[in-house]
């Protein structure tokens, strides 16, 4: 970052260029420690070689290095968070959760983590945010269940109506049969009704039977 990219190099007389690995690590530790830049400057490794050999680095340079370190740490944090979110997202996908909602939950939790880090506190880790979104999912699921219930209720009502119609048809047929039978019975009971050939034939047959004559002799 300070050099402007991996292919470019620091000037030969740059403060960092002449520090050993141990001194670079010491510088990193000093700049990561709490305190003002002026306080940190006093603990920094001194310049090695060149016209300013043995001098402490200037504040503007330390500020630039500190800034670059913070940005590098911020980029590493993004990379780490991305890897964590991808793993969590994959796991949620395997569990069959809605990806849109999962991403939203992960985003809110990530933001909450950043905010807590900025405030240097560790609270109930974004559980509030997660529970809000999970409640949204639960409400949506409940809505779906209610819809299904309503559909089932409508289907049951329809079946009930069909059953009722079938019963009514059955009653109607039975009533029609009863009416026909009643009409027939009423007709048979009517003594004044004119005698039919079948009646006459039945009387003759009955007399033949009483008289002991063979059927159809007369």
Partner 1 sequence: MIDQDIKKFVLRTLLLKGGQPMSAREIKLRIRGAFDAAFTDGELDTVIQAMEDANYLAGTNSDLDGTLWALTAKGTIQGQQLIKK
Q: Is 4 in the site for partner 1 (CB under 8 A)?
A: yes
The C-alpha atoms of residue 21 and residue 28 are separated, in whole angstroms, by 11
Q: Is 34 in the site for partner 1 (CB under 8 A)?
A: no
Q: Is 70 in the site for partner 1 (CB under 8 A)?
A: yes
Q: Is 107 in the site for partner 1 (CB under 8 A)?
A: yes
Q: Which stretch binds partner 1 (CB under 8 A): 25-33, 50-58, 109-117, 176-184?
A: 109-117
Neighbouring CB atoms inside 10 A of 23's CB total 15
Task: Please answer whether residues 143 and 167 qualify as being in contact, where contact means their C-beta atoms are separated by less than 8 angstroms.
Answer: no
104, 130, 134, 204: which one contacts partner 1 (CB under 8 A)?
104
Q: Shortest CA distance to 208 belongs to which of 199, 216, 197, 198?
A: 216
Q: Which stretch binds partner 1 (CB under 8 A): 50-58, 67-75, 155-163, 167-175?
A: 67-75
Structure tokens at 103: 């991403």
* Closer of 5 and 194 to partner 1 (Cβ): 5
Q: Is 180 in the site for partner 1 (CB under 8 A)?
A: no
Long-range contact pairs involving 189-192 (C-beta distance under 8 Å, separation at least 24): none
Alpha carbon distance, N-terminus to C-terminus of the chain? 136
197 burial type by CB count under 10 A (0-12 exposed, 13-18 middle, 19+ buried) = exposed
Q: Is 111 in the site for partner 1 (CB under 8 A)?
A: yes
Q: Is 110 in the site for partner 1 (CB under 8 A)?
A: yes
Residues at the site binding partner 1, with contacts judged by CB under 8 A: 4-5, 63, 66-67, 70-71, 73-75, 77-79, 82, 85, 100-101, 103-104, 107-108, 110-111, 114-115, 117-118, 133, 136
């Amino acid at each position: 970052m300070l050099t402007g990219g991996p292919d470019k190099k620091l000037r030969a007389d740059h403060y960092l260029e002449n520090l050993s690995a141990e001194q670079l690590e010491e510088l990193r530790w000093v700049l990561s420690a709490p305190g003002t830049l002026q306080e940190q400057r006093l603990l920094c490794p001194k310049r090695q070689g060149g016209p300013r050999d043995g001098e402490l680095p200037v504040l503007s340079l330390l500020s630039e290095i500190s800034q670059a370190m913070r940005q590098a740490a911020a980029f590493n944090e993004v990379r780490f968070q991305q890897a964590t979110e991808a793993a969590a997202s994959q796991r949620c996908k395997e569990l069959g959760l809605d990806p849109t909602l999962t991403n939203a939950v992960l985003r809110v939790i990530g933001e909450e983590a950043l905010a807590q880090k900025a405030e240097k506190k560790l609270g109930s880790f974004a559980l509030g945010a997660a529970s809000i979104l999970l409640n949204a999912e639960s409400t949506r699921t409940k809505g779906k269940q209610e819809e299904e219930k309503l559909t089932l209720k409508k289907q049951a009502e329809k079946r009930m109506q069909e059953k009722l119609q079938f019963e009514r048809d059955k009653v109607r047929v039975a009533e029609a049969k009863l009416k026909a039978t009643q009409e027939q019975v009423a007709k048979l009971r009517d003594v004044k009704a004119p005698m039919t050939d079948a009646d006459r034939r039945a009387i003759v047959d009955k007399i033949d039977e009483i008289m002991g004559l063979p059927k159809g002799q007369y």
